[in-house]
A and B are shown apart, each in its own frame.
Chain A
Amino acid sequence: EVQMVQSGGGLVQPGGSLRLSCAASGFTFSAYWMHWVRQAPGKGLVWVSRINPDGSSISYADSVKGRFTISRDNAKNTLYLQMSNLRVEDTAVYFCTRDTFGDKDFWGQGTLVTVSS
């Protein structure tokens, strides 16, 4: 059974940092592109970032470029999102998702990040 268990969310002050993790199981993690998608409270889905299977190809949404870093550890079957210089507008539930030919076919449970003083 495919599972992606997320951790690392919480409350952080503006300008602070936080690292999200997404532990995958039930599939060959090292063979798949992975994404982060976020959803502000009461708002729609917003694509954040993606990474290819070996970590050599990465892209970001303009809103997070230069502040967020996506990475993965294939030995630990884990996806990460390092978030720095956080802003109030980064407050959202963050989801990790698996990519199969462009489709986000499995999603983590989501983790809430709240940026507030």
Chain B
Amino acid sequence: QSALTQPASVSGSPGQSITISCTGTSSDVGSYNLVSWYRQVPGKAPKLLISEGGKRPSGVSNRFSGSKSGNTASLTISGLQAEDEADYYCCSFTISRTYVFGTGTKVTVL
């Protein structure tokens, strides 16, 4: 199972919106409603950011939103803030009843 494809890095200025793509295949992303998204600060465990159902866990800002079209899912961060600097990963269930993560995207706030 190959990892889902994400851009290695995305950057933006404070207040801007950025979008991180997550491209898979009809065997994973294309087969399910949404993917889940995780945020990881280096040296720490990942944290759930967007659920497979598109919901945000308690405490996650509504500046984060997820969407999907075909085999590509997207995470949008609006009103970018310095604290948003982190690594972001998507994750999808697969038709083999396994899971696959994305390659990860480093977000930099300029």
Q: Which chain B residues lie closer than 8 Å to A103 at the CB level?
A: 36, 48, 51-52
Does A47 belong to the interface (CB within 8 Å)? yes
**Cβ contacts B69-100/A at 8 Å (1 or 0 each):** 00000000000000000010101010011111
20 new A-B contacts, CB < 8 A, other than A102-B93, A107-B47, are A44-B89, A44-B102, A45-B91, A46-B3, A47-B98, A47-B101, A50-B98, A59-B96, A62-B1, A95-B45, A101-B53, A102-B52, A103-B36, A104-B38, A104-B46, A104-B48, A104-B91, A105-B48, A105-B57, A109-B45
In whole angstroms, how far apart are the Cα atoms of A46 and B89 in the complex?
Answer: 10
A108 contacts B45, CB within 8 Å?
yes
**Cβ contacts A43-75/B at 8 Å (1 or 0 each):** 011110010000000011110000000000000
Does B65 belong to the interface (CB within 8 Å)? no
In whole angstroms, how far apart are the Cα atoms of A59 and B100 in the complex?
Answer: 12
B48 contacts A45, CB within 8 Å?
no
> Given A102-B93, A104-B91, A45 and B104 touching (CB < 8 A)?
yes
User: Interface on B for A, CB 8 Å cutoff?
Assistant: 1, 3, 36, 38, 40, 45-48, 51-53, 57, 87, 89, 91, 93, 96-104
* CB nearest to A4 among chain B residues: B45
Q: A-side binding surface: helix, strand, loop or mixed?
A: strand
CB<8 Å pairs between A and B, sample of 25:
A35-B99, A44-B87, A44-B89, A44-B101, A45-B38, A45-B104, A46-B3, A47-B99, A59-B96, A59-B98, A95-B46, A101-B51, A102-B51, A102-B52, A103-B36, A103-B51, A103-B52, A104-B36, A104-B38, A104-B91, A105-B51, A107-B45, A107-B46, A108-B45, A109-B45
A61 contacts B1, CB within 8 Å?
yes
- Residue pairs across A and B with CB atoms within 8 Å: the count is 60
A110 contacts B45, CB within 8 Å?
yes
Q: A32 to nearest B CB, angstroms?
A: 14
B98 contacts A46, CB within 8 Å?
no
In whole angstroms, how far apart are the Cα atoms of A113 and B43 in the complex?
Answer: 15
Within 91-105 of A, Cβ neighbours of B (below 8 Å) are at: 95, 101-105
